[in-house]
Homo-oligomer: A and B are copies of this chain.
Amino acid sequence: MSADPITDDVVALLARIVDRFTGSYEAAAASQGLTTVQAKVLAALGEPLPMHRIAEELKSERSNVTGIIDRLEARGLVERRPDERDRRIKNIVATPAGAVLARNFRRSLGFAAEPLAALAPEERVRLRELLQLMVDGEA
């Protein structure tokens, strides 16, 4: 269809890899009793973030984030902290408990993803180059 069979192959391979990757992601999240969105939020919370930044991060609506944070806060993993300078803003910060889960999540994601990169060192370097090109290739 797309004229170029190699491109088609690459796209198909990417589809499979994406599938595995998201599978690993979900498994890693579940291993910490988190949904994927919750894991994503918690993982992004190295620095406190206002709600609307989180909405951006998730490419979703502010109204949606309210609920997600509600649930995380109800479990004591996250805290709404009023901003000093701008009283409209609530900064979300991970509690110690939340930080632990985030760290465990990242670790188990790493383990899950590692087999994917089980290539010879030289191959991994080459792969990194190519992926970097792909990433740079767009705006």
When distances are taken between beta carbons in the complex, the residues of chain B under 8 Å from A133 are: 119, 123
Helix, strand, loop or mixed for chain A's interface?
Answer: helix
- Number of chain copies forming the complex: 2
Interface residues of A in 15-57 (CB under 8 A from B): 15-18, 20-23
Complex formed: what's the CA distance from A29 to B58 in Å?
18
Chain A interface residue count, CB cutoff 8 Å, equals 44
The answer to whether B7 and A124 have CB atoms under 8 Å apart is yes
When distances are taken between beta carbons in the complex, the residues of chain B under 8 Å from A117 are: 7, 10-11, 14, 134
The answer to whether B130 and A116 have CB atoms under 8 Å apart is no
Given contacts A2-B110, A6-B124, A130-B119, contact A22 B18 (CB under 8 A): yes
Complex formed: what's the CA distance from A6 to B127 in Å?
10
Report A135 CB to chain B, min CB distance, Å: 5
The answer to whether A131 and B10 have CB atoms under 8 Å apart is yes
Known: A6-B124, A119-B130, A127-B130. 7 other contacts (CB 8 A): A1-B107, A14-B17, A14-B117, A15-B21, A17-B18, A116-B138, A123-B130
